[in-house]
Amino acid sequence: MSEKDSNSVTKDSKKDNDNVITLADGASGSNVDAAWKYLDDHRDTSGSDAVDITALRRRIDFRIVPLMFLCYTLQFLDKVILNYAAVMGIHAELGLKGNDFSNIATFLFVGLLCFEIPNIYFLQAVPAAKWLGLNVILWGTATACGAAATNYRTLLVSRIFLGIFEATIAPSLMLISSQWYTKSESAPRFSFWYLGLGLGQIIGGLVSYGFQHMSPEGRLSGWRTMFLTLGLITVLVGSCVIIFLPDTPMKAKWLTENEKVALLKHVSVNKTGVENRKFRGKEILEALMDPQIYLLLLAVVLLSVSSGVVTTYSATLVRGLGYDSKKAALMNTPSGVVSIFFTLLVGYGIRSQSHRWAWIIVCIVPAIIGGALMSFLPKTNKNGILAGIYLVNAVVAPLAVFYNWLVANVAGPTKRAFAAAIISGSFSLGNIIGPQTFQARDAPEYRPAKIAVMATQAGCALVTFALFLYYSWQNKRRNNLAENENEEAYMEPEVWARMTDKENKSFRYTY
């Protein structure tokens, strides 16, 4: 074929693609995802087929994942330090009594929940990486300001603002991860940045132990210095996110044109797009009518009740076994090891075997056993109760799977941003319920809270299985178009047109 004929075919193909996109979207070709436009502008780029995807993926891992990991570590650490402050004298210094401490823990998540809806707009209007970096800086500032608290109300205000600024962490990381990886590749990456939660538990215990050795005659007490130090570190990390995390693969200065084209072709099989800033209200309406959103919401709420217990009261439960405050901080660190183990297990298990629903249940079973050990063993059996407290942390890992499930199975930029906010909000709702199961009248055993851990985890397992059945049923209803899910179809309009998973009949749900 001559160069002239080739150019003619290219122009005709481009015209046909625009026409199809217009018909599919009901709008102009300007509504196509930014990745399609980039590929369209670089049709003549040669050499993309020679790019080593494995080596390219490794480069992206080193550039992207560590920053996401640090953000998630610090968001958990900045929350969980209240857990450790409870055994460092914060009650006496601020005059907390009754359910004041539980209320402070709860209202952080109230702030987080309330800001999830406005966050949908900002994730569409502002690049996710920049929006994430700004909020990391702001929540670091809120954490540092907690060191200046003088009573219940001032600490409450600082924690509410911490929740508001942390509202974007999960939705932003979900959207950023989906830009760079295929569905199967994203599972271990989600797990890796989610390891920050387990590491935060370990670091939190060690940091608390260290700050408890500060001289009581100092100008700032140990817990205040801890708040200030971690807040300033968070501000520094937020600044690095703004500077070093690209808005999209197309804007990564450290990738060549060939590498960008090769990457976009590689992730085109997701059929979920990379970037499209136009807000489409009908996608929100579709999300509100989508059964998978409600099943995911219910599962995450049930799962997060135990997460709220782990985040806020684990050190208190350990201390209730008769350990002093310093020992309680150290004895809580194995919880992070359990969390890391199960997070790695499910991440790489999904990468090699898929079956997300089964791996979630694999983690829930040990958590139920842990809840039983905590609830029904006599208080004299310290080792058994400690084992129960540690095993409950297995429930931390499935949340990363639910996040990955969401970005894999929800297409359409507005719908996905809305779904991410809803699921992140349901995590907040579970964490609001969790601390409230700890009532002062139930101290020191808090048996109703421990039983709630078992009941909610069993419920989560049932809902997870129902979600698997729903996805399997939906796939059977659709024509089997799996042969189109390859990189050769990367310029097909339905790959990059802003269609939701419901609109795109070639979309296949992952389970």
pLDDT band for position 297 (50/70/90)?
very high
Segment 30-54 shows an average pLDDT of 76
Lowest model confidence (mean pLDDT) among 188-202, 206-220, 259-273, 418-432: 206-220
- What's the one-letter identity of residue 445? E
In three-state form (DSSP H/G/I as H, E/B as E, the rest C), the secondary structure along 222-251 is HHHHHHHHHHHHHHHHHHHHHHHCCCCHHH
Could you give all domains of the chain from N- to C-terminal order, each with its CATH number? 62-496 (1.20.1250.20)
Q: Residues 45-72, buried b or exposed e (16+ Cβ, 10 A)?
A: eeebeebeeeebbeebbebbbebbbbbb
Q: Tell me the pTM.
A: 0.77
CA-only gyration radius of the chain, Å: 24
- Per-residue tokens: 492: 């097909």
Segment 204-230 shows an average pLDDT of 80
pLDDT band for position 136 (50/70/90)?
very high
How many whole angstroms separate alpha carbon 488 and alpha carbon 269?
9
Per-residue model confidence (pLDDT) at position 492: 57
Reference 113, options 423, 510, 464, 476; nearest CA is: 423
Residue pLDDT, tens place only, 347-397: 777 777 678 888 899 989 998 888 888 778 887 888 888 888 888 888 888
Per-residue model confidence (pLDDT) at position 501: 81
Residue pLDDT, tens place only, 449-503: 777 778 888 899 999 999 999 999 888 887 655 444 554 555 455 555 567 788 7
Reference 112, options 171, 34, 59; nearest CA is: 171
How many other CB atoms are found less than 10 A from the CB of residue 473?
Answer: 10
- Per-residue tokens: 256: 């060549």
Reference 508, options 420, 414, 409, 406; nearest CA is: 409
In degrees rounded to 5, what are phi and psi of residue 45? -65, 125
Mean pLDDT highest for which of 233-242, 334-343, 421-430, 450-459?
A: 233-242
pLDDT band for position 1 (50/70/90)?
very low
Give CA angle at 118 (115, 504), nearest 5°.
120
How many whole angstroms separate alpha carbon 1 and alpha carbon 135?
54
Residue pLDDT, tens place only, 2-34: 333 334 333 333 333 333 333 344 334 445 677
Q: Are 434 and 308 contacting, i.e. CB atoms less than 8 angstroms apart?
A: yes
How many whole angstroms separate alpha carbon 147 and alpha carbon 227?
5
- Per-residue tokens: 177: 């991860």
Per-residue model confidence (pLDDT) at position 312: 63
How many whole angstroms separate alpha carbon 369 and alpha carbon 335?
15
Neighbour-count burial of 394, counting CB atoms closer than 10 A to its CB (0-12 exposed, 13-18 middle, 19+ buried): buried
How many whole angstroms separate alpha carbon 296 and alpha carbon 291?
9
Segment 151-180 shows an average pLDDT of 90
- Interacting residues of 19 by C-beta distance below 8 A, sequence separation 6+: none
Neighbour-count burial of 204, counting CB atoms closer than 10 A to its CB (0-12 exposed, 13-18 middle, 19+ buried): buried
Segment 162-168 shows an average pLDDT of 92
